[in-house]
Structure 1
Amino acid sequence: MLMHMRKFSILFVLLSILCSCAGPKGTGQAEAGERVSKPQTMKPVGQNAAQSGKTAKVPDHVVIVVEENHSRQNIIGNRAAPYMNSLTKQGAYFTESYANAHPSQPNYLILFSGSDQGVHNDSCGHTFTVPNLASELFKHKFTFAGYSEDLPSVGSTVCTNKSYGRKHSPWVNFTNIPKSANRRFTDFPADYTQLPTVSFVIPNLDHDMHDGTIQSADKWLKQNMGPYVEWAKSHNSVLILTWDEDDYGSRNHIPTIIVGDHIRQAVFDQNITHLNVLRTMEDLYGLSHLGRTSGSEPIRNLWKPS
């Protein structure tokens, strides 16, 4: 009898250990609002992702808005930026997002072409012929436009006009992009179905926090991009909100927020830079990897499970 009890006790312990190791069954997907820190691999999906059953559904439209010269600490939790902070709860908010350089212009060039193209300042008048996000999109039969506030005319190459600065509109410098893709913000369509596949929106220096206040930039973003954000959530479209650089801190720690249809509502601690954002765009649309994006990973776990 004693022997049988010992065998039963040993069996019970072994079963307990096995059960505790197995853990609860589940999908392995983080729910909306959770912190996402263990990324899964996102495969390049190309144009027919919705039909092929891949991880991500290719957005019909992506709008990228770039703000200026403020760190994550300046913005997140700041009462002067209620709309921007509300976006952190509506989509993917990245707590470990970093710019690549100082000052502004190299970051815009990196986000657009995967390289600073040898530019390490805010000088004007550069000309480049290398592939970039826009030229790759056109090559693959997609569309692109850059919308800059206070640009004097479509295709203009002026360095400044009112509160417009060419240093913040990198596509102007590339000769392999048609001038018609360099547009005024007043050309941003009210009918969002008419947007190009990918577009940049560059507020002027008063509305991007460079010269104006955080509060002014927040109000401008809500007024001008808020309707698009709400539309995007149900129309297979996305907004990417990021900053060119921080307030010249040593870490260059910036906010990045992605909101839209099929985007997971979660806090991400994946370490990303402008290169990861560009790499994600490349993989979504099946584009070539530009510059340093060949050595960068796309953003992981961005999409809701289908």
Structure 2
Amino acid sequence: MITIVLLALSALAAPVANPLNKFKNYFVIVFENQNYDTVLNNAYMGKVLPSKGRLLTNYHGVTHPSQPNYIAMTSGSPKGVFLDFHANVDKRNLADNLEDIGKTWKTYQQDYPQDQGCFLSDQGDYYRKHNPFVSYVNVHNNPNRCANIVNAKFLDQDIANKKLPDYMFYTPNIKNDGHNTDIDYASNWLQGFLEPLLENPVFDDTLFVITFDESNAALGVIDFKGNHIYTLLLGKSVTPGSQDSTYYTHYSQIATLNEQWGMSMFNLDDYGAAGFDLQ
């Protein structure tokens, strides 16, 4: 019986046999603490961007506060992280699953206190809780993996060299992500940052995911809207001006990489998550 169960779990964890490969690169930008309706009422994010991409009208964060959502997004569950204190998570994560299928990854952190490497504190407008990869023990104890955590200024260099990693995780600073400001401030930054990327041919085969960590509900307060957050997809693999009402969560990002690249699921809270419908 034990052998049968182990074989079943192994089968569940296996990558898909025929990945769809509808995009070459994956670029996720994570903003902070805004309700879906608030973002939709913003001129740029609520009107301009949806005309260019696919609005996911039923996407949800998985918990409150911020940090557990980042951990869930990159490892298939909050991994016992319930608050925003510095966490050290000794579990598998996206770095493992991406490397298992030969995919490269990098996280671009705006206002990171050093050029690259694993900086384990907060400084200025950089907050560690919004940088999930540095919290994984098998990342911050590995210099080669730490080299994939870089100051966001190096995105320009990677673009110029036409050497984008397959998977990109971009964290704006605490002001530009809307955490210490508001949605108008964040969207103004996004417009200036994103529009040149959308026009750059180096990103022609990239799926952009614009999302938020959670809705604007404080820890311990009942969230009557179910952590409903704005998420939008951009790229040639989606139809401009389209909408999708499928129920998605942060785990859907993992499911999408499973379907599109053949990356293994973690089969934790991500089990059964729907991957993005790209059309």
TM-score, length of structure 2 as denominator length: 0.83
**Cα displacement string for residues 131-154 of structure 1 (whole angstroms, at most 9, x for unaligned residues):** 211221112111001111111111
The number of residue pairs the alignment matches comes to: 249
Distance in 2, Cα, partners of 1:254 & 1:44: 28
Structure 2 equivalent of residue 7 of structure 1: none
For the residue of structure 2 that corresponds to 1:295, the secondary structure is coil
Higher RCO (C-alpha under 8 Å, 6+ residues apart): 2
The more displaced of 204-213 and 233-242 is 233-242
For the residue of structure 2 that corresponds to 1:141, the secondary structure is coil
1:61 to 25, 48, 52: 25
The more displaced of 109-118 and 280-289 is 280-289
Map residues 115-154 of structure 1 onto 2, 5 A cutoff: 115-124=77-86, 126-153=87-114, 154=116
Residue identity opposite 1:285 in structure 2: W
Distance in 2, Cα, partners of 1:44 & 1:201: 27
Map residues 228-239 of structure 1 onto 2, 5 A cutoff: 228-231=197-200, 235-239=204-208
**Cα shift at 1:285:** 1.4
Residue identity opposite 2:167 in structure 1: V
Identity of aligned residues (%): 26
Distance in 1, Cα, partners of 2:174 & 2:228: 21
Residue 89 of structure 1 pairs with residue 58 of structure 2: no
Structure 1 equivalent of residue 228 of structure 2: 253
Distance in 2, Cα, partners of 1:232 & 1:172: 30
Structure 1 equivalent of residue 173 of structure 2: 204
* Distance change in 2, residues 1:186/1:119 (3 Å): same
TM-score, length of structure 1 as denominator length: 0.76
* Distance change in 2, residues 1:202/1:234 (3 Å): closer
* Distance change in 2, residues 1:120/1:232 (3 Å): farther
For the residue of structure 2 that corresponds to 1:257, the secondary structure is strand
* Distance change in 2, residues 1:162/1:84 (3 Å): farther
Map residues 122-201 of structure 1 onto 2, 5 A cutoff: 122-124=84-86, 126-153=87-114, 154-177=116-139, 178-192=145-159, 193-201=162-170
Distance in 1, Cα, partners of 2:51 & 2:17: 26
Residue identity opposite 1:187 in structure 2: F
**Cα displacement string for residues 134-190 of structure 1 (whole angstroms, at most 9, x for unaligned residues):** 221112111001111111111133321111111011000113331001111111135
**Cα shift at 1:235:** 1.7
The alignment yields a C-alpha RMSD, in angstroms, of 2.0
Distance in 1, Cα, partners of 2:28 & 2:259: 16
**Cα shift at 1:287:** 1.1
Distance in 1, Cα, partners of 2:102 & 2:62: 30
Residue identity opposite 1:132 in structure 2: N
Structure 1 equivalent of residue 252 of structure 2: 276
* Distance change in 2, residues 1:45/1:246 (3 Å): farther
Query: Any unmatched runs of 5+ in structure 2?
Result: 1-14, 140-144, 218-222
